[in-house]
Structure 1
């Protein structure tokens, strides 16, 4: 309870606070094989949801206490005081501590960005009076686990023949395709993970200095997927005299991103196993020079069997993985002055800057494939091109914070007031250049990085165009005033109050200033006389808080941001009638709304903190309730023939309970045990939506004809899955005749789904679709066990979720025009009366079965052995004769085993506010085994 925690614009003892703040030591993330430190917190903090990604360098999906908006849902990151939307630049080894702030009394001070929670990171500083050099390294392997199950060549032959028979069509000849390829194996590998870190710190009476350098080389489990990252950190604080200190913090990173492999696993499971994955030699004309050469060429696909978007992923990856250059440079720093005056006052002005630059170039080369049926080579990629993106982000922040701290007898007061400004600018520009295709200049762009630019001289300037998908520029500012009071009486009655006024350049003038506030109270019962005889309880505190928080968000229905809510972009190439003539015109992308304001979250919390049994037990319980009001909603009214609209309207409620506990036991002189666990029960419901929304719901659709659908609808959890309820399989025509008519949604026959008549009107129509699944878990949990015996330590982290659903889109909702391989689960298909009452007949012609339904819904519950770490720290007795201060060796296994119920690679899938939990046959989370050492001098 006496630990010091970050609270925003300052620090405080946790005992003096009335909110929910969880502090994690930097050592918890330092030796884990994750480039993003928050990825290592999965299952460790009550109320914190972490959905990790298997892609090197990809940020996890983070939510604190639920999905509070239809727009922005991810927390605010604060690194040494600077506001950020990600922490990709931070080296996990340079982190001193991570604080997770969850309740209104902790978050109101952050104003318009506080509603989604805060993750505050403090980087390492030099320890007083010490000079230390530290080096750590780990090396290990990443391996695909929980591979999805597809049929082999024999299974494909059986099911393909059956499907053709079901449709009374002849099976195309493909006897030449006699391989038995496991395509998932063909595109995956055992990847390597290696991280090396060096730090130097020194502290004296006048100066504290820290320097850190880190390098990470991380393979993905997909072939050729690789991330390289170089990180540098530096901070220095100089004490000029007793009253004034000057300081600087600086972080920099250079990251080379892997090529885009997000669709490789999904493409792999689509290819029929009969196709050969390796190369064959052919004599062909070099596509660049025309010279006759021998080439090793990968197979294309048998277009008589597989086409319409199905590709050989090995062919594409092997020819394009090294034709992308994607570098991100980032520089983040601050300079501050810390002034103590008049005994009780402190003034701290700080100036921050954050510059990022992404230089991305993608070259499309020429390369061959061969037809696996005829064994003839052909030019698979026929035109060269270069796509170049230049993305720049600039962020500036300045804080001027005055703090007064004093004690008046039994009264303790800390008061803070501040003025702060923030600027954000995003400048993204992209263009595409293509080769000359006619005339004397007709030639490809060379396959040489020197020419992978828009102005290489080999591209046709007449068709060099702006890429609208990656061209976007905007900027905004906020100007804010803030205040906070921390008060306690006799160190047992606590009052916390905070407020902030944010003025935003993105809103209309009359709503530009918005006020956010919170009040919290606490009562430490163990300071009361009536508790003095209860010796088993060391500390007992009741607490509660209430407040209004802000959420700075505006997004379209697809989750893409709207930078200027009050100032819509223009849509060009619109027609306007002038008499009998139609002229080109422009119109607003949506109707501007002069009454727009940011969303507000009305939050409250009550809780209890307990320490007992000689401080061996620590327990905390919190009940929270959050209602988001004035949802900023983009309303698509094109179906009504009028302009779209952006307006405030609707509300969402998130509420639940958090329990966390830990037990520390010294079993003997050399043997200690720590057990910790947490569980969070979470409920989510849409209370209302804007009245102008067509149909009264917000849809998000994917796959064939929108068959995979999530709806945000009043009375249901946000992003609920929507579709038909499967009531079995039609076993015969007699079964069809005795069932409600369903012809309005397509032709059907025995073997097709039998959908439930939900509304009871005697027929099956689109009106019988209903909520069929909830992507939000009923509860999440985590536990850890730490054993220490002399110099040996063993830690095991476990966790999981229960009660959520996953919407599986593969093996059921492929396009009916796509021939894909069969999933193993389709071996249980209906192939005659009584053979199945769940999996339908195999037939691309039966479009009736391409409707999203409960057949696509799978249980997302899982339990995972998240992390196992075994370490040995050499004793000082062994090291006393050397100049080594400390030496530790360790082995770590991450994602050792997952017990799950769904058919995908993983049971956890992120997304955005209104569409998450969809399984698109990707997202594999690898098992990572690493070995390392940490040595200090």
Structure 2
């Protein structure tokens, strides 16, 4: 069902924004009457609009320039020059026209009359764009590191919750994965591969100069008392508190030369987010950007219907019966089967019965995906006011975002306010202030876990639940009874099907809500001491409060038929992050020599506290807070870390042609051992602008050519706060005749614990042709992470239990290539631009501890993943399926399978990897990995006058998925519903199916163990996705009158088509996305979302 767009809330949002911005004299008064908002101008009206025309020419050649963008500053209105360089548009007499074109310097010219001819000066490099880098800005042409950028133009029409989603497919070397479509869930960003096993792999995020924390809510998630398997829901996304509409640019620092200025936190790359600022043209600019849309699952899983499952189940029971019981006939009724099986004590009769629901079908054929998924609405409204004068510039915005989930009881809401102020009270003094208070409300439920977990996941439960079962009882209540089917409880006498909960009960009776209130604020003062020498003081705070409430209702019946065990839990946490920075910046140019230098000191401290309480024995579900039940436990915790740093950077350029840069940062961090808390992280880089050499002066088709090289060292700060300190845990002991409370060591200390060090070398080439209408960038890199942190097992006799301390004893390598290509294919009244990017990365472990022993999964018993020397981190580990046995003679001549008890024709034939004539655990090998061979993205933008069409195609090649749902949906035992491809299974030598699916066998685990970890569970995760399509139209200026000078409407679609061989919902799935050692697992994740939105962007003055 759709939620109506809360129109009454929009005037309130508008009023809040304009009240906040009132000090800046926007020139409007506002009044609300019911659902309507009235605006009254307090300023003198603009002069009448006039039609302006002219010609744009090249200042040097005097030739006309087609395709020049001509826009009205501060509005979404404009045009472009035609094939003869002519343009015309309507504007007010006090407007400013902006003329821009690739390869030329942008000009801003006030309207002075009906005819305005303009000359543009060629920009030989086309790279005078200013990019944000660590602690400053640089012209793109002078940057010697690997830095990529996106602007607000790349984001404006996307229906996204958080800015990370905007990076998908647009920057080479940056892989953004969306493992879950759950509203508010966090995407995963990896820059140039995975560099750590035990530490974090997320980049550092810096918002308007503040390195912010990406901690997710602390504490135990879900139901800790009854949870039998440690499956965690997808983490919340703390960065979703930032409205994408407030972002001006996103810069990604990829190599060590660019990121080393952030030292111990630059190992995984750095993402710099710059928000919008006010202008100084004196006029308030008011924009309203709103869209609404609908959402559906991007894909559906193909499952069996009732008739197919009935045939499949009968086939599985009959095959097992005929194989294990002498004299058995497939036509034997259950009464005869009971007699024959009972004569064999080692067998259980229920394994060979045909359940009553399948002997006498009820006619029910439920599509459980239809039952749990729905069409859901999404709304977004952003109102912003910006403007100012030479003394004060302001940007104030408010955002309301509401995304309903495609599964009931899931959704995400955001309310945010942003205030950015810049002032220059004196000639040498600049001051500024930023504040971003926000509140988010995320409903998560229990969606992305296996059906056998506690609590179960609704998605996986829907996949395994039999279509022969009705979701509701005759009285309309949710069916949790075994009266209609034995699916919901294990009844060995008649069914012996795997029990599960009703997915509707999981959705409606288990609640998991997370609220986050976050305020990030900062201020700065910059004083020019002497010409070229500036001192800057920067200080800020990031205050983050989480409140999480979990409740399982009394009405919920678990898969083990446990009835009425309500459970509640409440978590509250507060994180405060303080930062102060002092920097000195100096720049000087003397003739052909240009020099700049930066020196600084920073200190940052973070504190976090947690309180958790849980309760049981609720009398009913009316009061779902912990006070409504009997409190049975609780805990509290406090942690903190601190970082003190000194930094410096120097840049030198000779003739703007020979470029050199060096930086160093010294970090002292509380997280490491006493003797190793200080780390020094240097970098060096150089660039050669070959295009400016005299010998290329007459090469007219070449407009830019630059070589750059860099080397640097960074560190990884993302480890637990107290990993180097010996920890104590509560422990009881006998004292006299009583039990006394005490404490005991749980992990040993490690004063030698130090940083993971990332050393990276990068070579880059930048090429421009035809005044940069064609521009390409190529980077090759090699990144070595040494002193890799690993959890090392200590001898049992030491007395530290199973908690293994971190030690620096590993090494891993990432090397690859990145290519980006931008082309301006057509210019004039019809334009066509293309942006393409490609990246390939190879990950390899070089060293593991002293002995080099492999690391298995998340624990010694988890052998589905392995990290071993020579392979990628977290590779899949198991047996290799060579084919399917077609005859008993083939089985007899094959290597002896010590894991199989009794193989039959139709079973898998596993490979003898080590060639010793037997199949055993020694034949397990690496059978794939989650990391792709390469990724790519292609964006095309077409324009004709005010009409725009753009589409983004994004893809991944070579990634593989460990589809653990096959353990139940394709195991041949027919204990649950199954994938539709099981209809192509092996039935007989004359009916071999597609040659890839083994026979159905209820006792398959006992007979041949076809379900052991193997290549059968590995699927190709490659995909090509139509990520976004947008059709927009910008109306001519003042179409709605002078008070509304710009109007733009658009239709947009996201995740419209995905081409993949993967059987599941999403080839980006990664249920344990927070684990480096166990990536790529799918056990029923929330599907990726496909949406369609309609939006309006309105500017008024």
User: Which residue is equivalent to 1:453?
Assistant: 625
Alignment of 1:288-327 (within 5 A): 301-303=487-489, 304=491, 305=495, 310-320=500-510, 323-327=511-515
Offset from partner CA, 1:38-70 (integer Å, 9 cap, x none):
112211000010111311111111100100111
Aligned partners of 2:354 and 2:1076: how far apart in 1? Answer: 45
Structure 1 segment 353-368 matched on structure 2, within 5 A: 353-367=541-555
What's the offset of the Cα at 1:905?
Answer: 0.8
Q: Aligned-pair distance for 1:582?
A: 12
Q: Which residue number in structure 2 is paired with residue 285 of structure 1?
A: none
Match of 1:116 among 264, 268, 271: 268
Aligned to 1:253: 438
Say yes or no: does 1:276 pair with 2:461.
no
Check 1:889–1:640 CA distance in 2 against 1; reply closer, same or farther (3 A cut): farther
Deviations 1:728-752 (A, max 9, x none): 1223332221011112465533332
1:126 aligns to 2:278 (yes or no)? yes
Query: Residues 564 and 307 (structure 1 numbering): CA distance in 2 closer, same or farther, change over 3 Å?
Result: farther
Q: Specify the SS of the correspondent of 2:356.
A: coil
* Alpha carbons of structure 1 residues 932 and 299: separation in structure 2 relative to 1, 3 Å: farther
| Structure 1 pair 307–484 and aligned structure 2 pair: CA distance change class (3 A) | farther
Structure 2 contact 509–556 (Cα < 8 Å) conserved: no
Q: Secondary structure at the match of 1:106?
A: helix
Residues 519 and 580 (structure 1 numbering): CA distance in 2 closer, same or farther, change over 3 Å? Answer: farther
Q: 2: distance between equivalents of 1:351 and 1:309?
A: 57
Cα distance change on mapping 1:370 and 1:763 into 2, 3 Å = closer
Spell out, residue by residue over 1:879-899, the C-alpha distance to the aligned partner (whole angstroms, 9 max, x if none): 5x4211211000001111111
Match of 2:35 in 1: none
- How far off is 1:117 after superposition? 0.6
What is the distance in 2 between the residues matched to 1:414 and 1:477?
30
- Pick from 25, 29, 42: which aligns with 2:168? 42
Measure the CA separation in 1 of the matches of 2:172 and 2:595: 30
Deviation at 1:178, TM superposition (A): 3.4
Distance 1:647 1:97, change over 3 A: same
Partner of 1:865: 1026
Alignment of 1:86-485 (within 5 A): 86=214, 87-129=239-281, 130-168=283-321, 169-174=352-357, 175=360, 177-260=362-445, 261-262=447-448, 263-281=457-475, 301-303=487-489, 304=491, 305=495, 310-320=500-510, 323-367=511-555, 381-435=563-617, 444-448=619-623, 452-454=624-626, 456=627, 458-461=628-631, 464-466=632-634, 472-485=637-650
Pair 1:641–1:842, CA change in 2 (3 A): farther
Structure 1, unmatched stretches of 5+, are: 283-294, 372-377, 436-442, 555-561
Is residue 551 from structure 1 mapped to residue 707 from structure 2 by the alignment? no
For 1:558, the equivalent position in structure 2 comes to: none
1:682 equivalent in alignment to 2:836: no
Match of 1:522 in 2: 687
Map of 2:819 onto structure 1: 659
Contact 1:336 1:350 in 2 (8 A): yes
The aligned residue for residue 342 of structure 2 is none
**In 2, Cα distance between equivalents of 1:326 and 1:153:** 38
Indicate the structure (1 or 2) with the bigger Cα radius of gyration: 2
Q: Deviations over 1:493-529 (max 9, x none)?
A: 0001111000011112211110001000000011111
**1:366 touches 1:380 (CA, 8 Å); kept in 2?**
no
Q: Give the 3-state SS of the residue equivalent to 2:402 in structure 1.
A: strand
RMSD: 2.6
Aligned equivalent of 2:966:
811
CA-to-partner distance for each residue in 1:699-734, whole Å, 9 max, x for gaps? Answer: 3479xx746x11111000111111000111223332
1:69 pairs with 2:196: yes
Q: Structure 2 CA distance, aligned partners of 1:493 and 1:213? A: 46
Alignment check: 8 A CA contact 1:621 1:659 kept: yes
3-state DSSP class of the match of 1:717? coil
Matches within 5 A, 1:558-569: 562-569=720-727
C-alpha contact 1:367 1:379 (8 A) present in aligned 2: no
3-state DSSP of counterpart to 1:547: strand
| CA–CA distance in structure 1, aligned partners of residues 533 and 519 of structure 2 | 32
Report the TM-score, using the length of structure 1 for normalisation.
0.90
User: How far is the alpha carbon of 1:338 from its aligned partner?
Assistant: 1.3
Tell me what 1:15 maps to: 141
Stretches of structure 2 that go unaligned for 5 or more consecutive residues are 1-126, 215-238, 322-351, 449-456
Q: Is 1:483–1:500's contact at 8 Å kept on the other side of the alignment? A: yes
Q: Aligned equivalents of 2:831 and 2:768: distance in 1?
A: 18
CA contact (8 A) 2:479 2:502 kept: no
**Residue pairs, 1:837-876, within 5 angstroms:** 837-847=995-1005, 848-876=1009-1037
Distance 1:574 1:91, change over 3 A: same
CA 155–446 in structure 1, closer or farther in 2 if over 3 Å, else same: closer
**Is the contact made by 2:1038 and 2:1045 (CA closer than 8 Å) also made in structure 1?**
no
Pair 1:612 & 2:769 matched: yes
Cα distance, 1:62–1:309 mapped onto 2, change above 3 Å: farther
Q: In 1, distance between residues paired with 2:996 and 2:269?
A: 42
CA distance in 2 between counterparts of 1:218 and 1:417 reads 45
Question: Counterparts in 2 of 1:458-857, with a 5 A limit?
Answer: 458-461=628-631, 464-466=632-634, 472-554=637-719, 562-573=720-731, 586-637=743-794, 643=800, 644-668=804-828, 670-691=829-850, 695-700=853-858, 706=862, 709-744=864-899, 746-812=901-967, 819-833=975-989, 835-836=992-993, 837-847=995-1005, 848-857=1009-1018
CA distance in 2, matches of 1:647, 1:213: 47
Residues 157 and 1030 in structure 2, CA contact (< 8 A), matched pair in contact too: no
Alignment-derived partner of residue 31 in structure 2: none
Q: How does 1:44-59 map to 2 (within 5 A)?
A: 44-52=170-178, 53-59=180-186
Secondary structure class of the residue paired with 1:367:
coil
CA distance in 2, matches of 1:196, 1:309: 45
1:336-356 CA distance string (max 9 Å, x none)? 111111111111111110111
Partner in structure 2 of residue 289 of structure 1: none
Q: Give the secondary-structure state (helix, strand or coil) at the position aligned to 2:1039.
A: helix
- Taking structure 2 as the reference length, the TM-score comes to 0.77
User: 1:660 aligns to what SS in structure 2?
Assistant: strand
- Could you tell me which of 895, 904, 914 is aligned with 2:1055? 895
Aligned equivalents of 2:570, 2:390: Cα separation in 1:
51
Equivalents in 2 of 1:584, 1:762: separation in Å?
57
1:393 CA drift (Å): 1.5
Which residue does the alignment assign to 2:28? none
Measured after TM superposition, the shift of residue 170 of structure 1 is 1.5
Q: Is the 8 A contact 1:280 1:298 kept in 2?
A: no
User: 1:880-891 maps to which residues of 2 (within 5 A)?
Assistant: 881-891=1041-1051
Summarize the Cα distance change of 1:681–1:853 in structure 2 as closer, same or farther, 3 Å threshold: same
Distance 1:589 1:131 in 2: 61
Q: What is the Cα deviation at residue 299 of structure 1?
A: 5.2
Contact 1:813 1:852 in 2 (8 A): no
